[in-house]
């Protein structure tokens, strides 16, 4: 499923002879700021990046997660990733996540991509609530949440995997 996201488009992550996201994935996941907040994946080799691309496709196939590469339309170049994870189609809930390649930060890409994924979640998946969480020190994620229309509902009772206070936001269809 591809989605037009204005100046960008959302597509499946790829690692094939026509388009290979693995080098950009490894660059992004090697970035210290990315590693500070994304603790559950390390993509140091092409094989690890291939496993990540394969995992995302498998998660989509079993309705566990919808994940898209955020891409530049003319070249297909990977700018980031956006997704709806922890999908519960029975109860209509999910949690949004987004990151951008280090070279693309500060351009508003994350908020645009997140808004497109949210629209998909409400319109195509019939979701009733989408959550978004981030470490309190991740001020860029706070800006993204506000731009995407989320309402801050406060800190969570438990800390994030980094040990920081975890801030929770919620969005419901209007």
Average pLDDT over residues 17-38: 94
Higher pLDDT, 35 or 27: 27
Predicted pLDDT at 37:
85
Average pLDDT over residues 90-105: 97
Burial class (CB in 10 A: 0-12, 13-18, 19+), 55: middle
Tell me the CATH class for 3-171: alpha beta
Q: How far apart are CA 98 and CA 82, in angstroms?
A: 4
Predicted pLDDT at 163:
86
Give pairs for 106-111: CB < 8 Å, separation 24+: 108/147, 109/8, 109/70, 109/79, 109/80, 110/70, 110/80, 110/82, 110/140, 110/144, 111/143, 111/144, 111/147, 111/148
Nearest to 56 by CA among 81, 31, 26: 81
Q: Would you kindly state where each structural domain of the chain is located, as residue ranges?
A: 3-171
Q: How far apart are CA 123 and CA 58, in angstroms?
A: 22
Specify the pairing of strand 3-5 against strand 66-71.
unpaired
- ∠ CA 68-70-73, nearest 5°, is 120
Instruction: Give me the residue label for tokens 């597509």.
Output: 11
Handedness of CA 120, 121, 126, 130 (dihedral sign): negative
Q: Does the pLDDT at position 51 exceed 80? A: yes
**Given pLDDT bands bounded at 50, 70 and 90, which one contains residue 160?**
confident
Average pLDDT over residues 10-35: 96
Average pLDDT over residues 135-158: 94
The two structure tokens encoding residue 38: 């994304």
**Given pLDDT bands bounded at 50, 70 and 90, which one contains residue 159?**
confident
Digit-coded pLDDT (tens) for 59-97: 999 999 999 999 999 999 999 999 999 999 999 999 999
Q: What percent of the chain has pLDDT over 70?
A: 100
Q: What percent of the chain has pLDDT over 90?
A: 86
* pTM for this prediction: 0.94
């Amino acid at each position: 499923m591809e989605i037009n996201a204005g100046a960008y488009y959302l597509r499946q992550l790829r690692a094939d002879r026509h388009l290979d996201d693995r080098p950009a994935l490894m660059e992004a996941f090697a970035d210290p700021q990315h590693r500070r907040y994304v603790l559950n994946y390390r993509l140091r080799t092409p094989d690890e990046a291939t496993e990540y691309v394969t995992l995302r496709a498998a998660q989509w196939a079993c309705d566990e997660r919808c994940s898209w590469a955020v891409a530049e339309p003319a070249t297909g170049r990977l700018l980031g990733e956006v997704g709806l994870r922890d999908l519960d189609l029975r109860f209509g809930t999910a949690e949004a996540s987004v990151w951008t390649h280090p070279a693309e930060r500060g351009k508003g890409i994350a908020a645009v991509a997140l808004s497109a994924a949210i629209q998909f979640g409400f319109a195509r998946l019939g979701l009733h609530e989408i959550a978004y969480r981030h470490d309190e020190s991740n001020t860029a994620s706070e800006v993204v949440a506000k731009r995407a229309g989320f309402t801050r509902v406060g800190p969570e009772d438990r800390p994030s995997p980094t040990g920081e206070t975890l801030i929770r936001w919620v969005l419901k269809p209007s």
